[in-house]
Amino acid sequence: MSVQVNEMKWENDQPLIELKGITKVYGKGQAALKALKGIDLIVYQGDFVAVMGPSGCGKSTCMNLLGCLDTPTSGQYLFRGIDIGKLSRNQRALLRRHYLGFVFQGFNLLSRTSALENVELPLVYRGMHHSERGRIAHDALRAVGLSGWEHHTPAELSGGQQQRVAIARAIATSPTVLLADEPTGNLDSIRGVEIMELLTSLNKDRGITILMVTHEPDMAGYASRTVRFRDGLIVSDSRQSEVA
């Protein structure tokens, strides 16, 4: 494919993400499991989408597809107008590296390295010079309220602080889209609110598009839009004013 992922041309009034008739089937024959049964979804730049639904409904499968961590069985996934299904594995890796940030429930920090080094990690993969990635990592930690904690290891940080480090790592690459999988799932209610306020700020102040899986209605309330899955299908898609 001649189009380079990091040189995609795109207009802001076009959908940032578009899923068309996406299916995902695991296994074959009688053992086949239809995780997604033909979903359509449009996400625009600046959206903050909460993805909800019971366990096994297909929402995590959908997030894996959006993050280019898996490929659909059928259907079309467009990112900035580019058909992701036509990209090579290396091109999909470039898309993840340059456009997507990931935040997980389990933080996924390296236990024996400092907060600063954890945030620097995706910049190392970009081949960035040490001094430049150090500056960016410092700025990212400052943005999540962790100035002064750069040299602490995860064991020396609270759960909320560890999740802030994980968010700093995700935004250090200036992603277009942040994919968050139960980002408050391992936190108490107070720390959960702090993380949601931080995500809201990143969405409004930096224009980062956020797609967040959550089981918690209170946390979903911070999003501007709620998409509900059931049995491999999207059963509702509503703006926050409609939810209210």
pLDDT score, position 2 = 40
13 within some domain: no
How long a stretch of residues is the chain? 244
Three-point CA angle 63, 65, 67, nearest 5°: 70
What are the C-alpha distances in Å from 221 to residues 104, 139, 193, 201? 19, 28, 11, 14
Structure confidence by residue, pLDDT tens digits, 114-149: 999 999 999 998 888 999 999 999 999 999 999 999
| Phi–psi pair at 84, nearest 5 degrees | -65, -30
In a domain, 52, yes or no: yes
214 lies in a domain? yes
pLDDT of 9 > 60? The answer is: no
Residue 237 belongs to a domain: yes
Rg (CA), the chain: 18
The stretch 174-195 carries a mean pLDDT of: 93
CATH of the domain at 58: 3.40.50.300
Q: How far is CA 66 from CA 33, 115, 131, 133, 207, in A?
A: 19, 27, 32, 27, 18
Q: Are 209 and 176 in contact (CB under 8 A)?
A: yes
Q: Specify if 231 maps to a domain.
A: yes
Query: Residue 143: which domain range?
Result: 45-64+89-243
Residue 80 lies in a domain: no
189 is a domain residue:
yes
Count: domains in the chain: 1
| Confidence tier at 243 by pLDDT (50, 70, 90) | very low
pTM over 0.85: yes
pLDDT number for residue 177: 97
Judge whether residue 1 has pLDDT over 70. Answer: no
